[in-house]
Amino acid sequence: GWRALLLPQLNRQSLYVYGSEVAVEKECIRQLQSGVFVIHPFSLMSYYIMCMMAITFLNLIGIPMEIAFLDGHSGLAWEGFNVFSDTLFLIDVALNFRMGIITDDAELQEAILDIKRIRVSYLRTWFIPDVIAAFPIGYILLFAQDLQYNNDDNPSKTNRMMRILMFVRILSLIRLARVSRLVRFFNEVEKVSNANLEVVRLFFRILSLFMMIFLLCHWNGCIQYFVPMLEEFPSDCWVRKENLMNATVIVKYSWGVFRALSQMIALSYGSMDAPTYVEMWIVMVSMVSGCLMYTVLVANATAMIVNVDPAAKEYKSKMSRLEHYMTFMKLPPELQLRINNYYQARYGGKWFDEKDVMDTVSSALKEQILTVMCSRLLRNVPIFQNRDENFINVVLQYLEYEVYQEGDVIVRQHVPGDRMFFIDHGQVLVEADSFERELCDGDFFGTCVLTKGKHLATVKALTDCQCFSLSWDDLQKALEGFPDVKKD
């Protein structure tokens, strides 16, 4: 039913975080067992975030335009959009108390779905800015305009209502606080996007930067016209000098943005023609904001170039050399595709040497890393249950990480067994003469290695599988220091 919309969806993002379809299904079960109304971060919420981001951006464009140029004649469509936006932002504040949070804890690998923790986190972070941004100015404007319509016959009341309307329109600038929501939406979209694709994350950063620059120029252009309007267009203001009093909104806006950009990028247009102190301050603010914009743009561009993921760079370099090798060896396209898919599944777009990483950390850290990664897998095997912790730690050091693609035969029936496998993520099919069985996350196979016997079944990967293996030789090395375990 409708509760399925709140559950994590099976897509590239959720598979990247949880590792396999089985793990995603377990996450769905965990949320259902919680029995509360909570929206999972990897549900269809990403589409909701993008929709809210678009509405927020339209608000940040339309609100200054309405205040500066429309003079209360925005039309029914825009008033309806204002009321709709205010309603949506109020609903959004309420929904944020029920939206799961993506945790940065790599060990937990799960979303925070506890209502109390969500509430405390939201109240400490974005609640106050969200409430300010959601202030229902649209409803107040409708109410004020309705009062003005009813008092049109009374001149004194009409003038008073005009002043109230102007105050409310200026007060509606408070809705520009929704720019904080835009920043937050960008952060949330980046989180629920495929974190493995550095290009996607870079795209969102560049897009957010240019949207902020556009909004700065847009607001500045509106202010250029808005301030003379507040002064009731004095005879020496730039609006009268350019004969824009009866011009269309598009012409007025174009001139305002042109003046703003000229001042921000130091072309000096309009800066020497500022007869009033107010316009002089506008020019100075424009110049300073332009310098800040230029500084931020250069700083971000430099940071993006310098801080591009080195692991992703190395991966691309390795893949480029691999492509040249496969082309030179004239490998079939199907085999080339499988090799590319293997590297993607094995390294996830980032090249790193696990052995080198393990060699550079202390023995205590190495033990903790291996315990986090593999300890739970060993505990599922009867022969490793209730064993000395020191023995388990020694065995962990001999485990080898392996990746198999869908359709790969991992072991064959009647072949001597030299390794035992522990499934971290993925599904395999065990096929014997008399039975078939599927294994998934946390299961193991290949116990014939304990007796150096032959495999009794063929094991084939049904999905991409991430496994750890333990060879017979390494097991014997681990047992050398524990004669009691070896005797058992």
- Across 330-341, average pLDDT: 90
DSSP code at position 419: E
The dihedral region occupied by 19, where left means phi > 0, alpha psi between -120 and 50, and beta the remainder, is left
Q: CB of 478 within 8 A of CB of 428?
A: no
- For residue 464, the domain's CATH number is 2.60.120.10
The dihedral region occupied by 232, where left means phi > 0, alpha psi between -120 and 50, and beta the remainder, is left
Q: Which residue has the tokens 């078939």?
A: 436
**pLDDT of residue 257 exceeding 90:** yes
| Whether residues 335 and 381 fall in one domain | no
The candidate with the shortest Cα–Cα distance to 99, out of 32, 46, 172, 26, is: 46
| Whether residues 21 and 59 fall in one domain | yes
| Whether residues 340 and 360 fall in one domain | no
Q: Which residue has the tokens 């120029």?
A: 217
Domain boundary among 347, 376, 410: 347
| Whether residues 317 and 359 fall in one domain | no
Q: Mark 144-162 as b/e (b = at least 16 C-beta within 10 Å).
A: beeebeeeeeeeeeeeebe
Mean pLDDT is highest, among 3-7, 60-64, 165-169, 254-258, for 254-258
- Please check whether residue 251 lies inside any domain of the structure: no
Q: What is the dihedral of CA 100, 1, 16, 95, to 10 degrees?
A: -20
| Whether residues 189 and 47 fall in one domain | yes
- Please check whether residue 61 lies inside any domain of the structure: yes
**pLDDT of residue 161 exceeding 60:** no
| Whether residues 408 and 320 fall in one domain | no
Q: What are phi and psi of 3, to 5 degrees?
A: -65, -25
Q: Which residues pair with 102 in a beta bridge?
A: 111
Q: Which residue has the tokens 């700065």?
A: 216
| Whether residues 426 and 340 fall in one domain | no
**pLDDT of residue 55 exceeding 90:** no
Is 8 or 266 the better-scoring residue by pLDDT?
8
DSSP output for 24-76:
HHHHHHHHHHH-S--B-TTSTHHHHHHHHHHHHHHHHHHHHHIIIIITT--HH
**pLDDT of residue 166 exceeding 60:** no
Q: Which residues pair with 444 in a beta bridge?
A: 422
Domain boundary among 326, 347, 368: 347
- Please check whether residue 462 lies inside any domain of the structure: yes
Domain count, the chain: 3
| Whether residues 360 and 337 fall in one domain | no
| Whether residues 337 and 453 fall in one domain | no
Is 118 or 76 the better-scoring residue by pLDDT?
118
- Please check whether residue 223 lies inside any domain of the structure: no
Cβ of 128: how many Cβ atoms within 10 Å? Answer: 12
**pLDDT of residue 456 exceeding 60:** yes
pLDDT in tens, 396-418: 888 898 999 988 999 999 898 88
Confidence at residue 234, expressed as pLDDT on a 0 to 100 scale: 85
Instruction: Tell me if the pTM is above 0.75.
Output: no
| Whether residues 334 and 361 fall in one domain | no
* pLDDT band for position 269 (cuts 50, 70, 90): low
* Mean pLDDT over each residue of the chain, to the nearest integer: 81
pLDDT in tens, 190-249: 655 544 455 666 777 788 788 888 989 999 999 999 888 888 888 888 888 888 988 999
Q: CB of 460 within 8 A of CB of 426?
A: no
Confidence at residue 181, expressed as pLDDT on a 0 to 100 scale: 67
Positive/negative CA dihedral, 353, 359, 362, 367: positive
Least confident of 75-79, 185-189, 247-251: 185-189
* pLDDT band for position 325 (cuts 50, 70, 90): very high
- Please check whether residue 482 lies inside any domain of the structure: yes
Domain span at 464:
354-487
pLDDT in tens, 88-123: 989 988 998 998 887 765 444 568 888 999 999 989
| Whether residues 115 and 177 fall in one domain | yes
Give the whole-angstrom CA distance, residue 111 versus residue 31: 10
- Across 350-376, average pLDDT: 82
Confidence at residue 151, expressed as pLDDT on a 0 to 100 scale: 56
Confidence at residue 27, expressed as pLDDT on a 0 to 100 scale: 86
Confidence at residue 168, expressed as pLDDT on a 0 to 100 scale: 58
| Whether residues 412 and 321 fall in one domain | no
Confidence at residue 246, expressed as pLDDT on a 0 to 100 scale: 87
Domain boundary among 132, 167, 196: 196
- Please check whether residue 258 lies inside any domain of the structure: no
- Please check whether residue 60 lies inside any domain of the structure: yes
- Please check whether residue 184 lies inside any domain of the structure: yes
Cβ of 169: how many Cβ atoms within 10 Å? Answer: 20
Confidence at residue 150, expressed as pLDDT on a 0 to 100 scale: 59
* pLDDT band for position 304 (cuts 50, 70, 90): confident
Give the whole-angstrom CA distance, residue 271 versus residue 269: 6
